Structure 1
């Protein structure tokens, strides 16, 4: 990966809808070169996909929370299968240590939060924290220099 790829990644993360023509202008490369670089970054797995970041609050899910699961009562495979069906769970990470899973959930309020927790109880011990603010809700990533 060269400096042009790094700059390309930066521009794509700043605006995923930027056109190939605009990228061509900003990087002083031909449109086919830009398209080829993007394709190579996708093929190598550096770019995993493109999508829109959606505001949960604007969809009526204004309560965000972190859920930690300890004391898992089922196999990880059974728990992960269950979690994949829970639309309120927007992130789930299996981790090392005392906690088995960290999850981020978006719900419509305290009532919906209670229902989600009730569904989790048979699988382990849920411990929840409501997110008050997110000073770093999303961070762009670039390769380290050197």
Structure 2
């Protein structure tokens, strides 16, 4: 599907507020709500819009420790490691990477103890280096929530 300027406008407005009504979105780009809805459906069907999300206040949930883990596999059993990553709620992101390490992880926990328990669990798959966040400078999700 080839996108035009209107599609890009719709995507920008949806990324700012995914719950915006089609009619309101249409008013902003000078289209009817029905026309906007048809375009959104085409964007969804073509896979350009993969889904919609909720932005959660992690501090209010008690998730105050952010850690970045560079993980080095000692086994070829990547499938089990990936399953573990998908099952752990404290794991926000997992990226298989080239360069340093095999995987880069972003972890959020409510305590140092919870972080240590997680790190102990992943030792059966390999070794890691740990980097703790001391200040968040930019967060795309937080930016969208504050607009």
Aligned residues: 140
Q: Please, which runs of 5 or more residues in structure 2 have no aligned partner?
A: none
Taking a change above 3 Å as real, the CA distance of residues 45 and 72 of structure 1, as seen in their structure-2 partners, is farther
Show CA shifts across 1:71-94 (max 9, x none): 432421121012111111011111
**Range that drifts further, 107-116 or 92-101:** 92-101
> Where has structure 1 moved over 6 Å in runs of 4 or more?
none
* SS of corresponding position for 1:60: coil
TM-score, normalising length: structure 1: 0.89
Q: How does 1:60-75 map to 2 (within 5 A)?
A: 60-75=62-77
Q: Which runs of 5+ in 1 are unaligned?
A: 141-146
Match of 1:90 in 2: 92
For residues 51 and 71 of structure 1, the distance between their equivalents in structure 2, rounded to whole angstroms, comes to 31
Aligned-residue offset at 1:48:
1.0
CA distance in 1, matches of 2:74, 2:92: 20
Give the aligned partner of residue 17 of structure 2.
Answer: 15
Deviation at 1:123, TM superposition (A): 0.6
Q: Secondary structure at the match of 2:26?
A: helix
For 2:45, the equivalent position in structure 1 comes to: 43
2:119 aligned residue: 117
Query: Does the 8 A contact of 2:97 with 2:103 survive in 1?
Result: yes
- 2:36 pairs with 1:29: no
Contact map agreement 1:66 1:103 (CA 8 A) in 2: yes
Separation of aligned partners in 2, 1:95 and 1:72? 15
Aligned to 2:129: 127
TM-score (norm 2): 0.89
Rounded to whole Å, the distance in 2 between the matches of 1:105 and 1:22 is 37
